[in-house]
């Protein structure tokens, strides 16, 4: 378990360095749906080029991210994915043996691109661990725009549908969600007051708790067809962390 955690931390660091290196080279992070979490690294010329220049496998992964969040895993067919990617079925099966195999790959793809997006977000430049954790929560609220399909999580969407029918997809989804939580652990541990006996254990559990709140907020937003309820849940999450980081001040307010 500890080796898996170290691997996830290494992946996050790699994403952060990758984002920085692209920026230094004159690239920018191009996101064709601002609230969709995943990004493409392109030059200005590449961004305006026809999608045919994008590798077929990448186009299929992008299609999975978009279409599955719109229709759900079970409601998405191979034909839907091929149409969204602009490829033939033959091309699909050249790269993936099945829709399930694509879904597993899409969960990994989602993780890498989401971590790259968050590692380059403005809150990362804040001066203290406390500010960065609260900034992360604020950022999560800021990117809730558009339809539920645009701001909700691919891994959470697929996990709800496949937790019994496809253990392979389920495990890939948990790895994605828990892997993102790992990116918060260090700052949460540093921000906790000194009297916490087990900061590492508390930080690990709290990081996963942020994802539990977010995933629940996404479900409520879908059920009510209203993003405001998700934003309210995130606001409650922020107040909870403010209390944890400074309980005496919070009690006195």
Percentage of the chain with pLDDT > 90? 67
| pLDDT at residue 38, as a whole number | 37
- Alpha carbon distance 61, 126 (integer Å): 33
Helix 167-191 to helix 2-24 angle (10° resolution) is 80
Residue with tokens 């999975």: 64
pLDDT tens for each residue of 109-133: 999 999 899 999 999 999 999 999 9
- Alpha carbon distance 169, 87 (integer Å): 23
pLDDT tens for each residue of 26-44: 333 333 333 344 333 333 3
Selected residue with higher pLDDT from 91 and 11: 91
Query: To which H or E segment does residue 41 belong?
Result: strand 40-42
pTM above 0.85, yes or no: no
pLDDT tens for each residue of 168-209: 999 999 999 999 999 999 999 999 887 665 776 789 999 999
How many domains does the chain fold into?
1
- Alpha carbon distance 167, 188 (integer Å): 31
**Quick check: 152 and 219 in contact, CB under 8 A?**
no
**Domain with 104 in it:** 2-252
| pLDDT at residue 57, as a whole number | 96
| pLDDT at residue 195, as a whole number | 61
Average pLDDT, the chain: 82
Q: Could you tell me the CATH number of the domain that includes residue 52?
A: 1.10.357.10
| pLDDT at residue 201, as a whole number | 78
**Residue 84: which pLDDT band, with cuts at 50, 70 and 90?**
very high
- Alpha carbon distance 29, 31 (integer Å): 6
| pLDDT at residue 197, as a whole number | 56
């Amino acid at each position: 378990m500890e080796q898996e955690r170290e691997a996830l931390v290494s992946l996050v660091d790699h994403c952060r360095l990758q984002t920085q290196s692209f920026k230094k080279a004159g690239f920018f992070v191009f996101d064709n749906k601002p609230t969709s979490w995943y990004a493409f690294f392109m030059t200005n010329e590449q961004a305006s080029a026809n999608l045919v220049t994008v590798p077929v496998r990448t186009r299929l992964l992008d299609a999975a991210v978009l279409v599955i969040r719109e229709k759900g895993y079970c409601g998405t067919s191979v034909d839907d994915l091929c149409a969204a990617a602009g490829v033939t079925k033959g091309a699909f099966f050249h790269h993936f043996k099945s829709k399930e195999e694509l879904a597993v790959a899409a969960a990994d793809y989602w993780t890498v691109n989401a971590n790259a997006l968050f590692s380059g977000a403005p809150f990362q430049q804040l001066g203290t661990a406390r500010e960065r954790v609260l900034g992360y929560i604020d950022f999560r609220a800021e990117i809730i725009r558009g339809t539920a399909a645009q701001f909700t999580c691919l891994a959470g969407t697929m996990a709800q549908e496949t937790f019994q029918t496809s253990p392979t997809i389920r495990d890939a989804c948990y790895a994605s969600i828990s892997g993102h939580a790992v990116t918060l652990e260090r700052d949460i541990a540093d921000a906790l007051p000194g009297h916490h006996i087990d900061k590492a254990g508390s930080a690990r559990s709290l990081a996963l708790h942020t994802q539990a709140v977010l995933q629940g907020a996404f479900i409520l937003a879908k059920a009510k067809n209203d993003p405001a309820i998700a934003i309210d849940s995130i606001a409650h999450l922020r107040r909870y962390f403010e209390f944890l980081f400074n309980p005496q001040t919070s009690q006195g307010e």
